[in-house]
Structure 1
């Protein structure tokens, strides 16, 4: 890596760390690009050059926050367990961890910021769909997923399942329904 690349990476890292700190404290709407630039010691132009927009910066922050979850799910692909078990664990990780990270990492002000929550959820959903797409392909290779159903349709179905889970208001409601939902997802109404 040359000096320019090193400096660029340092600037990006400073922006991301400042953004995480400011978004954690204030949410999204209350933080300006100028405030992000001042906190990270760069110009506002640098933020636009590296991330395209404040929304792009949120997406990168989410990717970093979910790196641990992403790595855990990717390790699942290589585990010596059956596809159904892998898929159930992956869906659970992709559903539970982002919500836990959000509640643990961000302040009440950030969580109350509807725009921030929507951007966080959208970015999380995109990452989740990329991960689950790899699982679907793996399931096809193992013969566990019907090859006549497109990956796109399976992903849309899983998004609908995620929307249902987002409707559940409490942790106890989640715990009581998640097993039934996974069974319905894997075996359908008729079962096997």
Structure 2
């Protein structure tokens, strides 16, 4: 029985040697070597779950509204007094702010953390292509600005902005909401859909 095992394996070994020599010969002849595809891990990779969509209520002395969106709803809106009175709400896809009419307009191009100081619809940059839509809070005017960040190199983004003139402002000093898709997180069409469907009156 042992002899039969040796007799059975001898041709297999010979065949393996012949194949090895044949592959080596192909490589020596100048043909491209055979490339095997990388192995695929057995475990399936899963991406992080998206932020849940929630309703966030903003009710300050300056503005009052609700927004249905993904983001840091637990933190709520932040009120700033420096350099002027502002209300800020940072969400996953957009930043919403309301700036006092007493704020000074920004005298430089949007960039390096400055996204423009918009107080009313009159602050739309001259020459910007604009689009108007009606939202549950009032009329919005949309445009896209160029935003940059400069460190060792300069990068640019097309950044959509919507200025919503509030139909019933809580304070005359804060007549608008500014909704911005930082660094182009949404294009202008998607930002338009956002302000039309996700901004709601309080209550």
Q: Which is bigger in relative contact order (C-alpha 8 A, separation at least 6)? A: 1
Rg comparison, structure with higher value: 2
Mark yes or no: TM-score above 0.5: no
Which one has the bigger strand percentage?
Answer: 2
Query: Taking structure 1 as the reference length, what is the TM-score of the superposition?
Result: 0.19
Query: Taking structure 2 as the reference length, what is the TM-score of the superposition?
Result: 0.18
